Structure 1
Amino acid sequence: MTALPDPSALPLFPLQTVLFPEGLLSLKVFEARYLDLVSRSLRTQHPFGVVALRQGHEVRRPGEAVAFEAVGCLAELIEVDSEQAGILQVRCRGSQRFRILSTRQGEDGLWWAEVQWLAPDAAVLPQKEHLASAQALANAIRMLRQRGPLPFLEPFHFDDAGWIANRWCEILPIPLVARQRLMELDDPQVRLKLVDQFLRSKGIIGGP
């Protein structure tokens, strides 16, 4: 993991998605403010913050009100390609979660935040009653691998309750706000328990 950036001035990339720790995020960057953000991140080797939008759009619209969630996740650059002039194809890895304390918007439209770092998930084994969720995720990954590029980064951690829960949260058909609330949970066992309940309710895994 790269060094944490200055918590008093974290550049933000608001998106209509939720980034989880160890998650994979692919971006097509073309707005000047975000091209500058990516260039700065490459130069300084510092991650930037990804936050989910509650109001507004990813592409800047003059006069539009923008609101985003209070908890986000740092994004570390792992790959940047420029196949067309003025457009960057970017792949990022989610790392540290943070809570926004205050925000300001620069003249170029880029949002900045003062943040508080949140503790990472404790690395804990999934409880016995949730092992079926781990096995079902392994099965899902085998199926996804046959269809094309995986939406997950390796290595896999099937012995980590938080990692299992986060990967399910990324691919399950749940509303954005529900995905956000799951990401915010401090206890990875509780997050996996809720995911397990959802999987059983949809018949993805057996049992009550």
Structure 2
Amino acid sequence: MNPIPLFPLSRALYPEGILHLRVFEIRYLDMVKQCIAEQSEFGVVPLLAGNEVRTPEGKEVLADFGTMAKIERWDVPMPGLMQLRCVGTTRFRLLSSEQRKYGLWVGEIECLPDDPPTPIPESLQPSANTLGRLIADMQQERIPVAEMPFAPPFRLDECGWVANRWAELLPLLPPQQRHLLADGDPQSRLGQIQDILKRRKLLVG
């Protein structure tokens, strides 16, 4: 497999997650234009150290797990600025990486299996109930689906889907995000998420 372009971010992307990006750095503008032209995807990896916007003194440290992103929509509101709506597709392990011209990261990856449909056990149901309440509140407030932080179908009966959506919503530290991306067991991930929700007193029952 040829190296893929990488987009390091302070927030992780998970499969089926929605990602809005404002792209203005040369390294990413060129990458995005190529992805659109070739209908190809790029990889999103959490930043363990460094800044999203390149600085002369900064050093970026990438996590070794990430998620592929597919560009669904794009807009060019002004020269040198692109606005993107992307969706997460496949998790991957980052085997190696290097920086190229203008600071663009590329990497060799190993794609990881999709989550198997895993029903939510009774002990973890509060996590799904709380997320369902949040979605219902958004619908009651008539928030357009396109503006919600996640897209339908809302699979509130699957461990992986619920865990991924909470992982995107919660203010997790980069090492926590990396750990969740690396965990291929959906029920294990949801258990970790529910522990966080309990500590933050966010569960509704």
TM-score by length of 1: 0.90
How do 1:124-163 and structure 2 match up within 5 A?
124-145=118-139, 146=141, 148=143, 149-163=147-161
Asked if structure 2 preserves the Cα contact closer than 8 Å seen for 1:200 and 1:206, the reply is no
1:96 counterpart residue number: 90
Alpha-carbon shift at residue 101 of structure 1 (Å): 1.1
CA distance in 2, matches of 1:64, 1:168: 30
Deviates more, 1:169-178 or 1:25-34: 169-178
1:37 counterpart residue number: 31
Asked if structure 1 preserves the Cα contact closer than 8 Å seen for 2:7 and 2:44, the reply is yes
How do 1:20-59 and structure 2 match up within 5 A?
20-59=14-53
The residue type equivalent to 2:89 in the other structure is S
| Structure 2 counterpart of 1:185, from 183, 186, 194 | 183
1:105 counterpart residue number: 99
1:3 counterpart residue number: none
SS of residue paired to 1:49: strand
In the alignment, is residue 194 of structure 1 matched against residue 188 of structure 2?
Answer: no
Q: Give CA-to-partner distance per residue, 1:100-125, whole Å, 9 cap, x none.
A: 11112112221110111111111111
TM-score by length of 2: 0.91
In the alignment, is residue 164 of structure 1 matched against residue 158 of structure 2?
Answer: no
SS of residue paired to 1:196: helix
Deviates more, 1:193-202 or 1:24-33: 193-202
SS of residue paired to 1:46: coil
SS of residue paired to 1:90: strand
Q: CA RMSD in A?
A: 1.7
CA distance in 1, matches of 2:59, 2:198: 39
How many aligned residue pairs are there? 201
SS of residue paired to 1:182: helix
SS of residue paired to 2:194: helix
Alpha-carbon shift at residue 173 of structure 1 (Å): 3.1
In the alignment, is residue 71 of structure 1 matched against residue 65 of structure 2?
Answer: yes
The residue type equivalent to 2:201 in the other structure is G
The residue type equivalent to 1:99 in the other structure is R
SS of residue paired to 1:108: helix
Asked if structure 2 preserves the Cα contact closer than 8 Å seen for 1:55 and 1:65, the reply is yes
Unpaired segments ≥5 residues, structure 1: 1-6
Alpha-carbon shift at residue 147 of structure 1 (Å): 7.6
1:118 counterpart residue number: 112
Structure 1 stretches (4+) deviating beyond 3 angstroms?
A: none
